[in-house]
Structure 1
Amino acid sequence: MKKCALLFLALLLSIQIPAQYKAWTSSKQPLQEIKALKKQIVKPNFRQQDYLITDFGAIGDGKTKNTEAFKKAIEKCNAEGGGRVIVPKGVFLTGAIYLKSNVNLHLSDGSTILFSQDSNDYPIVFTRWEGMECMNYSSLIYAYEEENIAVTGKGILDGNADNDNWWFWCGATKYGYNTSRPGRQNPARAKLHEYMAERKPARERIFGDGYYLRPNFVQPYRCKNFWMADVEVKNSPMWNLNPVLCENVLIERVRVISHGPNNDGCDPEACKNVWIKDCYFDTGDDCIAIKSGRDEDGRDIGRPAENHIIENCEMKDGHGGVVIGSEIAGGAKNIYAIGNVMDSENLDRALRIKTSSSRGGIIENVFFYNTKVGAYKEAAVRFNMHYEKPGNHIPTIRNIWVENLTVDKGGKYAVFSDAYETSPVTDFTMINAKMNGIQIPYKVDYMKNVTLKKVTVNGKPLTELKD
């Protein structure tokens, strides 16, 4: 009997019980967490050897297709231990580029990589489309299970999308497309949702020609040590920067200017240890949208977006500046946005968390610190648990800390919240916030444990948020 009791005790001790949730009590704790996290996110090192793409037959006249030249240069660089694949001054037309381990694709000053408008130049690969796994067109720059990869330099990545190429596939009439044209993504989008709900194996969800699901621009998938620096990215078919299930991601001094439909600036998806700093976003959708997969795919894979720093970035046009969701079924935790600047009458929100009961998941530990905002449309801080269709997976939003926020011109609301009575936004703290030009101080429902200290709206103290 004693032996059985000892065995039972040993079994109990072997079970790892998750740490109990605790909200921050001061900004010192997240600031310390940021300091520790920065030490973990480092750019990869590359062998000091250059491979000039013109040595592999590339011609920078903007007309010659250089897909094979890029492929040969990257494969040789990888086979010989890595280094830089150099794009010299000129305009180099190409189809999809596949990045291999230990390769830094480096764009010289004055260089442009111009991507083909022909969908046949993008092979079918394993990818994610709006947070759902499938076989579809390769992103314009793609990598799968590679390590130590980079895209750097002061050149331009031009996705070459416009109203007559790629963008009209979205089917949105608000962009002024001719609705009689063929190429509507909605049937394929619905079919992909159906496959996901049925849990059809991802590699059997085959799309591509005739389905009109646009490719993203840059998508390293299940990669480690991804670095992107200094380039300008424009005219993407869809999402611009979309690392998926990656670890150790550093994106710095990148400019994203792309105003097509669903042209999010940067969407790290189910990634761990991400640092986006000193970047500029002027986009047709969210500037930065942190994601972790849609509905069944997000929950089944179960990888949260974890440990993200967004620092010293500038946001202009976009649906939101710093956004979490909506494809967030895997959850998100430890998201730190510090020292960012936002200002545009076409920017809808500064901080936005959007999810739904078809997603579920826990979003927690969001730190929004030292943010300067000029104008925006809807809300400085926006919580939405009713984004898109409802389901049976009630989400959780908790421990959201906003400190040192200034708003000069404002918008409709300071704080706007739409939650569930059974799952209120919990532990929301706002400290030292000065917001001017606001039409309505707040519109909220179902918030719990709200702390407001030194918060003013249009010069008047805001001391409570009531339903």
Structure 2
Amino acid sequence: MNVFESLKCNSIFLVITSLFLSCGGKVTDASNSPWERMDLIVKSIPQAKFLENSYNVIDYGAIADGVTINTVAFEKAIKACAENGGGKVIVPTGKFLTGAIHLESNVNLHLEDNAEILFSTNPKDYPIVHTSWEGTELMNYSPLIYAKNKTNVAITGKGTLNGQANSANWWVWSGGKSYGWEKGIPSQNDPANREVLVDMAEKGVPVEERIFGEGRYLRPNFIEFFECNTVLIKDVKVINAPFWILHPMKSNNIIIDSVTVNSHGPNNDGCDPEYSQNVIIKNCIFNTGDDCIAIKSGRDADGRRVALPSKNIIVQNCKMIDGHGGVVIGSEISAGVNNVFVENCIMDSPNLDRAIRIKTNSKRGGVIEDVYVRNLDVGTVKECVLKLNMFYNVYGSQTGNFIPVIRNVILENVKVKEAGKYGVWAEGYKESPVENIVLKNVNIEKADSIYLLKNVKNFNFINTYINGKKVESIKN
């Protein structure tokens, strides 16, 4: 069964389960309780399991001196593990330099406590593969760790994954002056690069003909599971990423547990589930140069071509420090997002712009609905606690004929010390207002303004206080 068949089967399971609960009468109707629905989703997600066999990369020629390139040794160890039914590929104490690592089914890449994998900064160490860049599929540099069409696969252990990105190598490709770029240095912003990729997607050029890589300066993702099923990422620390960090792409049944992400480079999103379903992100720490968690579903025409929404995304017991947003949906969101659950998180930094954010525009489109948030402890955010924006614009003109939908968002039991400019910021279209929003038991101690609301409908404030003042609901 491929991952798309698995996605369909899992969706059918959830629908049948909900119908059973609602008809049986013995259990509370799951359709009336989002948090009961969340519990059903959690119970439906299988756990990755592996044989007890171990394959130490040292035994396959790896040298832990931080200088010798160990790509072949990692490849041999992973191949031996997979050919013998799976198990653990052990990375012991030491510093291991390598190029791209490609995982296989039934393989757990396990880093011992003082192990560190240093990833080469030479683009030639990353072969061209089918991947994605900012929500558009293409043939580009392999992610640093990559798995495609694999089942039952993991990265575990308390070691460190070090992308070694900085302003002298990958980050300078962003074209950002704060990341080392100067006039005359090539970057992703050159006309032959990002713009060409987007144009190819808009024209429907087949993915296999969107060949980038050398000379095109589109940075690789760090860890990407592409069309995979039953994945575990647990305990590892990830630092200095070239680009997006944890990227489940068209994948199903993902558990990301107790991972620490500390990377302040450009586009350094902590975790980007894209076109993915049944994803749990729990007990993690995100300290990032971009969004801590950003749920995606493709950009513009490419997202509408794939037409696979991200759904059943669960975030629990995480800590967000620096970043553009704590939990974000968008902006590459054209296939839509639904059934997002966020609970028991701490978000606090003067360098964290927002707590919860949905960002789209009429070029992206997408239906974003059924987002449930509870029990947040927010210290300081720079701009606002909740931002729902249908006019997101970062790359010049971002308008089109695909009016987005944002509806059914609930925040409850949220405590905030400082919210920055606004407690809440929501902007919709007259023909598509931001609608059915609830803030219940929310207390924002300090904000420059209570809210900025344009084209909203059924915006409910229940026992909610901003600057010590009880906020009244808006029903228009």
TM-score over 0.5 for the pair: yes
Q: Does the 8 Å CA contact 1:216/1:237 hold for their aligned counterparts?
A: yes
Q: Which amino acid letter does the alignment assign opposite residue 143 of structure 1?
A: A
Quick check: 2:460–2:474 contact (8 Å CA) kept in 1? no
The equivalent residue for 1:160 is 164
Bigger drift between 326-335 and 379-388 goes to 379-388
- Are residues 1:340 and 2:349 paired? no
1:427 paired to 2:431: no
Counterparts of residues 54-453 of structure 1 (less than 5 Å) = 54-187=58-191, 188-388=193-393, 389-453=398-462
State the alpha-carbon separation in 2 of the partners of residues 175 and 107 from structure 1. 30
- The 8 Å contact of residues 277 and 312 in structure 1, kept in 2 or not, is answered as yes
Percent identity of the aligned residues?
A: 49
SS of aligned partner of 2:302: helix
How far is 1:43 from its partner? 2.2
Structure 1 residue 366 displacement after superposition: 0.1
In structure 2, distance between residues paired with 1:182 and 1:175: 13
**CA–CA separation in structure 1 for the residues paired with 2:190 and 2:462:** 46
Identify the range of structure 1 (273-282 vs 31-40) with the bigger mean alpha-carbon deviation: 31-40
8 Å Cα contact 1:444/1:466 also seen in 2:
no
CA distance in 2, matches of 1:381, 1:400: 10
- What is the rounded CA distance, in whole Å, between the counterparts of 2:168 and 2:474 in structure 1? 47
Secondary structure of 1:299's aligned partner: helix
How many Å apart are 1:68 and its aligned residue?
0.1
Question: Aligned partners of 1:66, 1:466: CA distance in 2, in Å?
Answer: 62
How far off is 1:360 after superposition?
1.4
CA-to-aligned-CA distance 1:44-95 (integer Å, 9 cap, x gap):
1001100000000000100000000000000110011000000000000000
Partner amino acid, structure 2, of 1:280: I
- Cα distance in structure 2, aligned partners of 1:416 and 1:213: 33
CA deviations over 1:315-343 (Å, ceiling 9, x no partner):
00000000000000010000000011000
Tell me the CA shift for residue 179 of structure 1. 2.9
Deviations 1:283-327 (A, max 9, x none): 000000000100111111110011010000000000000000000
Deviation at 1:177, TM superposition (A): 2.9
* Most deviating of 169-178 and 454-463: 169-178
TM-superposed deviation, 1:182: 3.0
Match of 2:6 in 1: none
- Residue 410 of structure 1 and its aligned partner are, at CA, apart by 2.3
Task: Tell me the distance in 2 between the aligned counterparts of 1:297 and 1:279.
Answer: 30
Tell me, in whole angstroms, the C-alpha distance in 2 between the residues paired with 1:41 and 1:436.
38
Measure, in 2, the Cα distance between the counterparts of 1:51 and 1:439: 57
TM-score, normalized by length of structure 1?
0.93
Provide the C-alpha distance between the structure 2 equivalents of 1:248 and 1:198, rounded to a whole number of angstroms.
Answer: 32
Partner Cα separation in structure 1 for residue 33 and residue 86 of structure 2: 40
CA distance in 2, matches of 1:126, 1:444: 41
Partner of 2:15: none
> Alpha-carbon deviation of 1:175?
3.6
Bigger shift: 98-107 or 184-193?
Answer: 184-193
Tell me, in whole angstroms, the C-alpha distance in 1 between the residues paired with 2:95 and 2:69.
10
Equivalent residue of 2:173, what SS? helix
Distance 1:304 1:198 in 2: 22
Match of 1:338, SS state, is strand
Query: Aligned equivalents of 2:32 and 2:303: distance in 1?
Result: 32
Q: How many residues align?
A: 445
For each residue in 1:207-239, what CA deviation from the matched residue of structure 2 results, as whole angstroms up to 9, or x when unmatched? 000000000100010000110000000100000
Deviation at 1:359, TM superposition (A): 1.3
Question: Bigger shift: 139-148 or 32-41?
Answer: 32-41
- Deviation, 1:34, is 1.2
- Contact persistence 2:64–2:94 (CA under 8 A): yes
Match of 2:294, SS state, is strand
How much does 1:180 deviate?
A: 2.9
Q: Distance in 2 between matches of 1:285 and 1:113?
A: 23
* CA positional deviation for 1:40: 1.2
Question: 1:152-200 deviations in whole A, cap 9, x for unaligned?
Answer: 0000000010000100001022445323323444421000011001000
* Contact map agreement 2:383 2:421 (CA 8 A) in 1: yes
After superposition, what is the alpha-carbon deviation per residue over 1:16-35, rounded to whole angstroms, capped at 9, x for unaligned?
A: xxx9xxxxx99970111111
Task: Check the 8 A contact 1:234/1:256 in 2, yes or no.
Answer: yes
Distance in 1, Cα, partners of 2:404 & 2:72: 47
| TM-score normalized by the length of structure 2 | 0.91
1:387 and 1:26, CA in 2 relative to 1: closer, same or farther beyond 3 A? farther
Contact preservation (8 Å) 1:183, 1:210: no
Match of 1:32 in 2: 36
Q: Answer with 386-395 or 48-57: which moved more.
A: 386-395
Give the match's secondary structure for 2:250.
coil
Q: Tell me if structure 2 keeps the 8 A contact 1:87–1:107.
A: yes
Structure 2 unaligned residues grouped into runs of 5+: 1-17, 19-28
Q: Which amino acid aligns with 1:449?
A: N
Q: Which amino acid aligns with 2:434?
A: V
Write the distance in 1 (CA, Å) between the matches of 2:460 and 2:241.
Answer: 41
Distance in 2 between residues matched to 1:301 and 1:77, nearest whole Å: 33
Q: Does the Cα contact within 8 Å between 1:324 and 1:352 map onto a contact in 2?
A: yes
